[in-house]
A = this chain, B = another copy of it.
Amino acid sequence: MPIPAPAADSLAALLGARFSTSAADRELHGQSETFHRAPPPDAVAWPVSTEEVAGIVAICHEHRVPVIGWGTGTSLEGHALATQGGLVIDLTKMDRVLEIRAEDMQVSLQPGCTREALNTELRATGLFFPVDPGANASLGGMAATRASGTTAVRYGTMRDNVLALEVVLADGSIIRTGTRAAKSSAGYDLTGLFVGSEGTLGIITELTLRLHGQPEEVASAVCGFPTLDQAVECVTATIQSGIPMARIEFVDADAARAFNRYAGTNLHEGPHLMVEFHGSPATVKEDAQRFGELARDFGGTGFDWATTPEDRAALWKMRHGAYRACLALRPGATAVVTDVCVPMSHLPAAVAAAAQDIREAGLIGPMVGHVGDGNFHSQLLVMPGDEQELAAAKRVATRMAERALAVGGTITGEHGVGIGKRPLMRAQHGEAVRVMAAIKAALDPQGIMNPGKLVPDVN
């Protein structure tokens, strides 16, 4: 349903030209990076302050208009699609770094600030924000989806690095959660509740993040392996040995091929690990040496070390471009992206079974992963409109998720639930989905906050 006229009038009065119902603005905010599709939203708003967000949500609350937060639109699970219509709140005009408190290793910022913009601002402070999902996502979006990525094995996920939030609730009221202290046991962990709530409980309007010291020394390398099993078993052994990896990423033969074609690299077209070490020169040397020995035990060869900042940037740019590179393996294709995460000891079997499933289904599905966390992705390429292929890809994705659950893992390590994983929520959480639904109903009784996402129907 379109926005009711009184609501549209109030929004236009509040925001002027920063409220739009034009087809062009709506189309731009109806896109999805993956195969998920929905009609565009009914309108788009670009607030510039917390007070404006509160005003927008209060109007939507009064008129029961769905409210969907929008960061950079890089979600892979359709989080920002207006599946039930309504208003998209585009937060890109709220992108300021508000305060860097270097002595406390903290920063306060607005949700539309991207991780690259933040790290550019931090460069001279000796500090950085490590969470790195690949895409240059907004930090509000990263908090809302509990993002992580290549460095979580060392620095944790958004759960570990968000200290405090300001949130606009479903009725338009504004709350603050968390503190600037390193820890607190003062009541329910509301910060933790809003991190990963995907806009279904409120709109994040300010974040306080933990920062980390820029490592004195950084060394990165890529290393080939004869077989997928050997590469993954090397990861498990590395993590169990306690070597403090800053990144340890898996790339399968198809993904290596995609990098060669798309990024002009010259990798052998087999499985690889991409690794990075952070620390003092002495510890980085020791860690790299220990890893090198382990890798050789598993048949690792052709270590290519990137020691200059430029070489390292090229290496991780290649890794971060994996999604586009893999799409380019099949021009015109879109993707069903899997995101299981399993306990470390189950990783080799999980990856091997996934590879077999993909092969048997006759799909192209390059695999990459943050394997130091037990988290890996397959990007199942499907042609838009080919319903049979889409169904096959979804079957493979569901089997991977079911296998992860069978060993105590999760259906999504970092992409979030959105639309895509919602049908699997009960399989993962059982009766606990009722608790999620009860919390959702308590905080958003009208169900206007990003409806149709995350929380499954429980009745």
Contacts and interface: CB of A to CB of B under 8 A. Distances in A.
A283 interface: yes
Interface stretch (A190-198, A247-255, A353-361): A190-198
Interface stretch (A81-89, A144-152, A263-271, A306-314): A144-152
B341 A413 contact: no
A181 interface: yes
A338 B428 CA distance: 41
Contacts of A73: none
A410 interface: yes
A157 B106 CA distance: 19
B344 A182 contact: yes
Interface in A212-239: 213, 236
A409 B179 contact: yes
A351 to B, nearest CB: 14
Given A181-B343, A438-B443, A439-B439, 19 more contacts: A145-B185, A146-B184, A147-B185, A148-B183, A160-B160, A175-B435, A177-B429, A181-B373, A181-B374, A183-B375, A183-B410, A184-B341, A185-B412, A185-B416, A185-B417, A186-B416, A190-B432, A192-B192, A193-B439
A98 interface: no
Contacts of A176: 429-430, 432
A159 B101 CA distance: 24
A455 to B, nearest CB: 7
A246 B434 CA distance: 40
Nearest to A436: B188
Contact of A186 (B159, B193, B236, B410): B410
Interface in A133-152: 145-148, 152
B182 A411 contact: no
Contact of A189 (B104, B153, B196): B196
Contacts of A387: none
A240 B185 contact: no
> Which has the most chain B C-beta neighbours within 10 Å: A105, A177, A179, A373?
A179
B442 A438 contact: yes
Given A344-B104, A442-B439, A413 B159 contact: no
Contacts of A391: none
Interface of A: 101, 103-106, 145-148, 152-153, 157, 159-160, 169, 173-177, 179-190, 192-193, 195-197, 201, 213, 236, 240, 242, 280, 282-283, 286, 341-345, 373-375, 404, 407-417, 421, 425, 428-436, 438-439, 441-443, 454-455
Given A181-B413, A431-B174, A421 B103 contact: no
Question: Which of A104, A179, A185, A341 counts the most chain B CB atoms within 10 A?
Answer: A185
A58 to B, nearest CB: 14
Contacts of A404: 181
A408 B180 contact: yes
A195 B428 CA distance: 20
Contacts of A431: 173-175
A369 to B, nearest CB: 12
Given A189-B196, A435-B169, A181 B375 contact: yes
Contacts of A106: 343
B438 A181 contact: no
A436 B186 CA distance: 11
